[in-house]
Amino acid sequence: MRHLIKRRRLVVLLGAATTLVVVLGMLWRSAIKRNRSVPDEPFRIAGNLYYVGATGVTAFLLTGPEGHVLIDGGYPETAPLIMASIAKLGFDITDVRVLLNSHAHSDHAGGLRALQEASGAELWISEGDADVIAAGGAGDRTLGPFRFLGFLGLGRFPASRVDHRFKDGATIRLGPLTLTAHVTAGHTPGCTSWSFPVHDGDRELLAVDICSLTLFPYVSKLVEPETYPGIRSDFERSFSVLRSLPADIFLASHANWFSMKRKLLERSDAENPVEPFIDRAGYLSFIDRAEATFRETLAKQQRRP
């Protein structure tokens, strides 16, 4: 009899826990969807480089005489905001010839299909993330045990047609525009940071758009069984690769990571509006903080029995 009572209690507790997770997931999704429709004001960062993202989730436009390159698509709801920002700057979405992405999560890949359809651009995705983007977020190993929440739509987004798959170190060219892909994996297996030269006056500056160096709380496992095989060594390599890049202009897939709002305020007092965005010290500090969090998380996981 006692065993039966314990079993019933366990079933009730499991049921309550599952219900709580589902409800919290639905509330979280609702709050995020409301935020997705908040635009950021587009602006020129330097030379032919512009910010066209929204809600702090970044998107960058690199313009050229033979067409433009757009990096990241935000959430599905963000795509119209990106297109409106491009138009507000005086450019046409149909002149975007190349679509790039940082990684295969809904806040950066969700709007790619709509942008692809509106522009006719070709989409380039790293080999490590291409299958997930082509499947609209399905099969994302980085979500770990939370993958089952896909039935709520969490982590899912409109599937895109992947035109080109590339390896680490690939160079994408469009007329005089040249961008280099650095696969800085860990956050996802194909997480891609982009570096490219930007001409501002008589200076050539190297812009580096960092994909992500974050671990998912309660999900990312750096010890056996790893979230995906090799995640720990991927993070180790990513810290090293990013430090080796001679970044001048610090960019990232989230605006707060490179203090975009603060730098915009500082422009009003700057002799040259580009200067606040030339921030190698901030770039290296961001990598240092991310690695410190990684080391702390690894140490905690290694201590667990």
Residue 223 has pLDDT above 60, yes or no: yes
Tokens 């019933």 map to which residue?
A: 8
The pLDDT assigned to 10 comes to 55
The pLDDT assigned to 78 comes to 94
The pLDDT assigned to 278 comes to 97
- Amino acid identity for residue 118 in this structure: A
pLDDT tens by residue, 186-206: 999 999 999 999 999 899 999
Whether a cis peptide bond, with omega within 30° of 0, leads into 225 is yes
The pLDDT assigned to 18 comes to 47
Which of 3.60.15.10, 3.40.50.150, 3.40.50.720, 3.40.30.10 is the CATH number of 36-303? Answer: 3.60.15.10
pLDDT tens by residue, 77-115: 999 999 999 999 999 999 999 999 999 999 999 999 999
Which alpha helices (DSSP H) does the chain contain, by range?
2-35, 79-88, 106-109, 112-119, 127-134, 231-244, 260-267, 280-303
Dump strand ranges (E) for 175-280. Answer: 177-183, 192-200, 203-210, 249-252
Tokens 């140490």 map to which residue?
A: 299
The pLDDT assigned to 304 comes to 81
Closest by Cα among 249, 227, 223, 226 to 303 = 223
